């Protein structure tokens, strides 16, 4: 069994220290996102933590998503808790990472207005990000894998037509003939830093999730790591955060 599975109950002092680290982690992420845009005071979360119903476990039972509205109209949705310190301590800030997705042309009825986040709960961004967050949590983070592949991974999500938000809100050119949605994980890099170095336990990486069109995913399927890198470099020269962008393939 892993130390987290078999750890003894923490002392009162350790619990207090853990609470301080948790609060400091939340504050550091808040500072980070406040430099990117206007951070909504409310977060998206679950009525019941998924790990209580058999879902993947995050470092704590808190599984939240932060909303950031940028000056140019871009909306950022980011996990907020994958980098929380573990309930039973440890020498890292959780899984050492958070993930986020940006969209620069989200329709108003999906983006909501400042102070109103309800529409985002039923949107494709939340459906996509929460699914990938579950995969990240199941693997207890993917920082070592990102490091192994020069900070850039790809993933495809099969059966996306079963997700009503994705099927109804994401343009069909992003979905393959065999009903999959592809993403790059780790690139292209955004126009802001992607490290939080002032976390209380260890630095945390902020990892972008970028949608691929069906044609671009086809290239990734047929290629290798060089293909992913070339694609990320090409996307960086395009308005890749737009749903209405042209496919590179």
Q: What is the pLDDT of residues 94-111, one digit of tens each?
A: 999 999 999 999 999 999
User: Confidence band (pLDDT; 50, 70, 90) for 89?
Assistant: confident
User: Confidence band (pLDDT; 50, 70, 90) for 65?
Assistant: very high
Task: Give residue for tokens 């209405």.
Answer: 244
Structure confidence at residue 121 (pLDDT): 93
Please name which of 92, 128, 129, 102 lies closest in space to residue 205, comparing C-alpha atoms.
92
As a whole number, the mean pLDDT across the chain is 91
Partners of 211 in the β-ladder: 183
Structure confidence at residue 9 (pLDDT): 37
Q: How much is the pTM?
A: 0.91
Long-range contacts of 237-241 (CB under 8 A, 24+ apart): 239/104, 240/188, 240/210, 241/74, 241/102, 241/103, 241/104, 241/105, 241/210
Joined together, the tokens standing for residue 110 give 């999906």
pLDDT in tens, 207-216: 999 999 999 9
Rounded Cα–Cα distance for residues 28 and 211 (Å) = 27
pLDDT in tens, 124-170: 999 999 999 999 999 999 999 999 999 999 999 999 999 999 999 99
Structure confidence at residue 6 (pLDDT): 36
pLDDT in tens, 1-35: 333 333 333 333 334 356 799 999 999 999 999 99
């Amino acid at each position: 069994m892993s130390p987290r599975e078999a750890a003894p109950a923490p002392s009162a002092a350790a619990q207090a220290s853990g609470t301080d680290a948790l609060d400091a982690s939340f504050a550091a992420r808040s500072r980070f996102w406040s430099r990117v845009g206007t951070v909504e005071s409310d977060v998206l979360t679950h009525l019941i933590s998924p790990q209580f119903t058999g879902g993947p476990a995050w470092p704590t039972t808190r599984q939240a998503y932060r909303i950031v509205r940028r000056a140019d109209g871009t909306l950022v949705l980011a996990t907020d808790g994958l980098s929380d310190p573990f309930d039973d301590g440890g020498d890292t800030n959780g899984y050492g990472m958070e993930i986020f997705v940006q969209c620069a042309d989200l329709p108003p009825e999906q983006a909501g207005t400042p102070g109103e986040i309800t529409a985002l709960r039923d949107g494709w961004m939340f459906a996509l990000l929460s699914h990938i967050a579950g995969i990240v949590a199941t693997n207890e983070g993917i920082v070592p894998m990102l490091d192994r592949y020069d900070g850039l991974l790809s993933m495809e999500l099969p059966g996306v037509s079963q997700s009503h938000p994705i099927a109804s809100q994401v343009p069909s050119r992003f979905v393959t003939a065999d009903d999959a949605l592809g993403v790059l994980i780790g690139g292209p890099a955004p126009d802001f830093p992607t490290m939080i170095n002032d976390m209380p336990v260890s630095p945390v990486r902020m990892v972008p999730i970028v949608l691929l069109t069906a044609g671009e995913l086809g290239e990734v399927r047929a290629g290798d790591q060089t293909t992913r890198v070339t694609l990320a470099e090409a996307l960086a020269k395009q308005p890749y955060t737009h749903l209405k962008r042209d496919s590179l393939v």
